[in-house]
């Protein structure tokens, strides 16, 4: 049964083919860029270029974590993991964010400070410009794929692009999108730093460029760490998604009213549902229990519901009203 829920938690939020393609493209692009930038940093002695190389190697390592996140997070639930393996995606994406912070941000800032304290002459600027130009194109290809997937999902959910990227339950798409955006900005910072170094003969602009790249990576890493942390501890769905799921339950002929509804993410595009319902009719306890279990199984046919747990409402509980 395909999901009819559109706000916040559509099936496009699940890990799968499109997200895997996005991560693979990012991995290949970052690997090629990291090698090119490392060679250029060695030949030119540019602090900004070295920072960019560290950034790209960090991104390359992060894509490996994201590939693992995709693989592990899509496993179906079993006896060992009754809620499924969806939260594995957030664990491995969290590792990737920490890697971006340590291998990218800290290294870049530290090298920029070292260059200010112990300046070294730069070499062939042409090599630096050529490599940065190629890097910008490759990063652009990767970012375009992430942008295309994010735009399609945001349009499906009738959401703004920035709002969708910030709140989507798909951690790999968010990571690739913001990391590629930061990489493009970092390349521009590096270009400016190298140009000023070449024009002025001073290492200060180049070193400051390295520090700025590090700060940018740090901000992105903290953002990703926070988002993954929120989903790991139990992120609730948006009010409009909750309201639409409530409408779906109330629309079932066997449900008289709903007095309690709890929804939280247990993985990308996967929800844990707990509800208290008042069933129609006046069945005996044994028959009522069978109907309740049957309704749970029906709800779990929805692509988005990992597990549904229902209990009976008491007469004095207030009914929830779908807006």
Do 48 and 178 belong to one domain?
yes
Residue 133 has pLDDT above 50, yes or no: yes
Q: Which domain holds residue 97?
A: 11-233
Q: Which band of pLDDT confidence, cut at 50, 70 and 90, is reported for residue 60?
A: confident
Model confidence at 270: pLDDT above 70: yes
Total tally of structural domains belonging to the chain: 2
Last-in-domain residue among 192, 208, 233 = 233
- 278: domain CATH number is 3.30.70.1350
Can you tell me the distance from the alpha carbon of 161 to that of 114, in angstroms, rounded to the nearest whole number? Answer: 39
Considering the domain architecture, whether residues 243 and 226 belong to the same structural domain is answered as no
2 within some domain: no
pLDDT-derived band at 14, boundaries 50, 70, 90: low
Is 43 contained in some domain?
yes
Residue 143: per-residue pLDDT = 92
Asked if 50 and 178 sit in the same domain, the reply is: yes
Predicted local distance difference test score (pLDDT) of residue 5: 45
Task: Note the pLDDT of residue 130.
Answer: 87
Instruction: Quote the pTM value.
Output: 0.81
Interstrand relation of 270-279 and 255-267 (parallel, antiparallel or unpaired):
antiparallel
Quick: pLDDT tens for 216-254.
989 999 999 999 999 988 888 888 889 989 999 999 999
From the centroid of its chain, how far is CA 213?
A: 21
Instruction: Give a yes or no: residue 127 inside a domain.
Output: yes
- Residue 5 belongs to a domain: no
Higher-scoring residue by pLDDT: 284, 184:
184
Shared-domain flag, residues 228 and 268: no
Residues 19 and 132 in one domain: yes
Considering the domain architecture, whether residues 181 and 50 belong to the same structural domain is answered as yes
Above 80 in pLDDT, residue 168?
A: yes
Buried-exposed string 183-199: b where 16+ CB fall within 10 A, e elsewhere? bbebbebbbbbbbbbee
- Does residue 3 lie in a domain region? no
pLDDT at 109 over 50: yes
pLDDT the model gives residue 275: 94
Predicted confidence at residue 181, as pLDDT, reads: 92
pLDDT tens, position by position, 140-154: 999 999 999 999 989
For residue 81, the model assigns a pLDDT of 76
**Of 203, 233, 263, which residue constitutes the final position of a domain?**
233
* Contacts by 292-296, CB closer than 8 A, 24 or more apart: 295/252, 295/254, 295/255
Cα separation, 91 vs 291, whole angstroms: 37
The tens digit of pLDDT for each residue in 15-39 reads 556 777 888 888 888 888 888 888 8
- C-beta contacts of 86-90 below 8 A and 24+ residues apart: 86/265, 86/266, 86/267, 86/268, 86/270, 86/306, 87/231, 87/232, 87/266, 87/267, 88/267, 89/15, 89/171, 89/172, 89/267, 89/268, 90/171, 90/228, 90/231, 90/232, 90/267
Same domain, 182 and 250: no
Residue at a domain's end among 233, 248, 270: 233
Q: Are residues 152 and 253 in the same domain?
A: no
* Assigned domain for 317 exists: no
Predicted pLDDT of residue 2:
46
Q: What is the mean pLDDT of the chain?
A: 84
196 and 247 part of one domain: no
pLDDT range class, residue 103, cuts 50, 70, 90: confident
193 and 89 within one domain: yes
């Amino acid at each position: 049964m395909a999901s009819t829920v559109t706000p916040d938690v559509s099936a496009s939020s699940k890990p799968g083919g499109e997200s895997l393609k996005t991560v693979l493209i990012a991995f290949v692009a970052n690997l090629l860029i990291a090698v090119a930038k490392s060679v250029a940093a060695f030949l030119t002695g540019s602090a900004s270029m070295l920072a960019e190389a560290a950034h790209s190697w960090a991104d390359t390592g992060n894509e490996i974590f994201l590939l693992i996140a995709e693989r592990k997070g899509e496993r179906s639930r079993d006896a060992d993991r009754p809620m499924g393996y969806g939260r594995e995606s957030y664990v491995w994406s969290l590792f990737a964010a920490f890697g971006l912070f340590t291998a990218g941000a800290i290294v870049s800032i530290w090298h920029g400070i070292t260059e200010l304290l112990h300046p070294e002459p730069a070499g062939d600027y042409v090599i630096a410009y050529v490599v940065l130009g190629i890097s910008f194109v490759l990063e652009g290809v990767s970012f375009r794929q992430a942008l295309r997937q994010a735009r399609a999902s945001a349009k499906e959910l009738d959401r703004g692009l920035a709002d969708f990227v910030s709140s989507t339950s798909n951690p790999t798409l968010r990571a690739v999108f913001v990391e590629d955006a930061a990489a493009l900005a970092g390349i521009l910072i590096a270009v400016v730093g190298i140009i000023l170094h070449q024009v002025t003969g001073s290492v200060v602009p180049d070193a400051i460029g390295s520090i700025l790249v590090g700060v940018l990576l740090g901000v992105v890493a903290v953002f990703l760490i926070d988002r993954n942390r929120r989903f790991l501890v139990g992120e609730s769905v948006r009010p409009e998604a909750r309201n639409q799921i409530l409408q779906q339950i109330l629309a079932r002929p066997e449900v008289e009213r709903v007095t309690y509804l709890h929804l939280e993410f247990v993985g990308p595009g996967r929800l844990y549902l707990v509800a208290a319902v008042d069933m129609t009719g006046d069945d005996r306890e044994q028959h009522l229990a069978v109907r309740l279990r049957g309704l749970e199984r029906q709800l779990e046919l929805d692509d988005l519901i990992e597990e549904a747990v229902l209990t009976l409402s008491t007469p004095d509980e207030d009914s929830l009203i779908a807006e």
